[in-house]
Amino acid sequence: MKQRSSERSDIPRPRSLERERGFVLAYRKKQLKGVSDETGVYALCDLDETPIYVGQSRDGIRSRASRHLTSARSDIIANRQIDVWEIAYIWAWPMRDVGHLDALEAYLFYEFHQKSSLMNGSTPPESGKPKFQLPKKQIIQLLSDEEIGTRLDPSLRLPRQVEHIGRLIDHILNVKDSSQLRTSLKAHFARLERYKKEFLEPNEVVIRNHGQKEEEPEDE
């Protein structure tokens, strides 16, 4: 099930910059209602629809994802591992059998991590492909097409990434230092290099459209 955005939103578009943030938050809140609140595994995805974090929830995917997006009781946000500004999609795999959650989370983690470094606070033990059938993936777009298009502009994305790296380094130096945070920092520097190239060499870089799908694990 894939719930995409529509430019014909029932949320009025603001006419001033002061109201822009309010519109974005209202749009995201509306879209979050479409996320399953069953137990399951989920991925937070960036503006390119690339997973940047994989987690599981036993008290409802929607509830857990909402806490990440509002910085409420979310370690990955408190530790500056992820910039909420980048999160534009949620992928969800609802699963009622909680006994399979660890295996599904580990499988998805390694499937995505080998393609683009994830920002998880911990690394699950590798267990290979689950023997059970993977649940159907749900995709929810949290930002409008217009907003995603705006944020993909390297002139906005590059300085935002520079600022976030500064916040993460400050957190490592003055609050908490760990191998997980340093791994996240390494991944953020890799992103910075890509955004820098897109900014300096716009005619030589092919930027993937935000509507293009990321490859997902095959189901059997």
Q: What is the pLDDT of residues 188-203, one digit of tens each?
A: 999 999 999 999 987 7
pLDDT for 6: 44
pLDDT for 220: 46
**Among the listed residues 30, 147, 146, 37, the one whose alpha carbon sits nearest the alpha carbon of residue 86:** 147
Type of residue numbered 163: E
pLDDT for 4: 47
For each of the domains in the chain, give its residue range(s) and CATH number, in order of start: 2-152 (3.40.1440.10)
Q: Is the dihedral of CA 114, 120, 122, 127 positive or negative?
A: negative
Walk along the chain (220 residues) and give the pLDDT tens digit of each residue: 444 444 444 545 444 544 678 889 899 999 999 999 999 999 999 999 999 999 999 989 999 999 898 866 788 888 899 999 999 999 999 999 999 999 999 999 999 999 999 998 788 888 888 989 999 999 999 999 999 999 999 999 999 999 999 999 999 999 999 999 999 999 999 999 999 999 998 776 544 554 554 455 655 4
Q: pTM score, two decimals?
A: 0.82
- The predicted-structure confidence for 59-105, as pLDDT tens digits, reads as follows 899 999 998 988 667 888 888 999 999 999 999 999 999 999 999 99
